[in-house]
Amino acid sequence: MDFRLDGKVAVVTGAGSGIGRAIASKFAAHGASLRLLDINRKEAEAACQQISEAGGSATFQACDVTEQKEVNSKFEELFQREQIHILVNNAGVSHIGSVESTTEADFDRIFRVNVKGVYNCMHSCVGHMKSRGGGVILNMASIAGSAGLADRFAYSMSKGAVIAMTYSVAKDYLSHNIRCNCISPARVHTPFVDGFLKKNYPGKEQEMFDKLSKAQPIGRMAEPEEVASLALFLCSDESSFITGADYLLDGGYFNLRG
C-alpha cells in the first residue's frame, strides 16, 4: 500500500510517449487522477485510453508549453474544476551538437521548450498550490545538466537550468508546503532513441544501441518505467522530507566510470 496517490490530481506534461507516458500510467495505477498536457494530440489521447482501459482516470488537453498565455489558460480551466496536487514537468526536446554546430534557431528551440516550458508551468501552478495548502513539483532534468557530455551543448544548458530552477523553487516555497525536486536520468530507452538510431545509423542500429547502452557502467539504458517508479516515490507522501534534491538515475555514470 506504499506510495499511493489516492485522491490526488496530477498534471504531467509531455505525457503522450516515453517517460511522460510511463509516469502517467504509474501514477494512475497508484490512485491518482491524471491530467495530461501534450502538443501531440494523437499520442496523448492514446495514453489516456491506455490508462482508462487499465482502470485508471485520465483526461487530456492539447498544450504548447512554450506559450505562456496558452499554458495559463489550460491551467486556469483545471483550477476552476479541481485542486492540482502534483505537477510533473516532463515535456522536453533533445539536441545533438557542440557550441559551434548549434545554430541560434537550435538554441532558441531548446531553450523555449526545456527551460521556458518548465518555467511557464511552474509559474502558472505555484500560486494555486500556495492557496490550497501546498503541493509537489517534479521536474525532469538529465545528467547532461551536471556532467560534461560530448555534443550536448544546448541540451546540457537547458537541463542545467532545470536543476537550478528546481533548487530555487524549493527554497522559495518551502514555507508554503510546496516540495520541488528533479530527476536526472542517464540514457533512457524511449522511442526517441530508436528514431535517432534509425535516422542516423541505418543498418547499424543494434551496434550503436549496444554502444550507447554500455556508456552506463551498469551496462544498459534505463527503462521509462524505472524513471516512473522514482517519480512516484518523489511525488508520494513517503517522500515528504525530500525537497530541493536532484536525483541521479544514472546506472553508475557519475561514480563508477573507469
Catalytic annotation present for 155:
yes
Bridge partners, residue 38, by sequence: 62
Cell output for 215 = 556508456
- Name the nearest CA neighbour of 190 among 35, 24, 58, 20: 20
| Half-sphere exposure in the Cβ direction for 126 (13 Å, CA) | 23
3-state SS assignment for residue 23: helix
Given 155, 173, 247, 253, the catalytic residue: 155
Cell output for 140 = 525532469
Count CB atoms within 10 A of the CB of residue 16: 24
C-alpha span between 130 and 240 (Å, rounded): 16
C-alpha span between 172 and 178 (Å, rounded): 9
Bridge partners, residue 183, by sequence: 140, 247
Rounded to 5°, the CA angle 228-233-236 comes to: 120
Amino acid found at 201: Y
Give Cα separations from 103 to 98, 112, 235 (angstroms). Answer: 10, 14, 37
Catalytic residues: 155
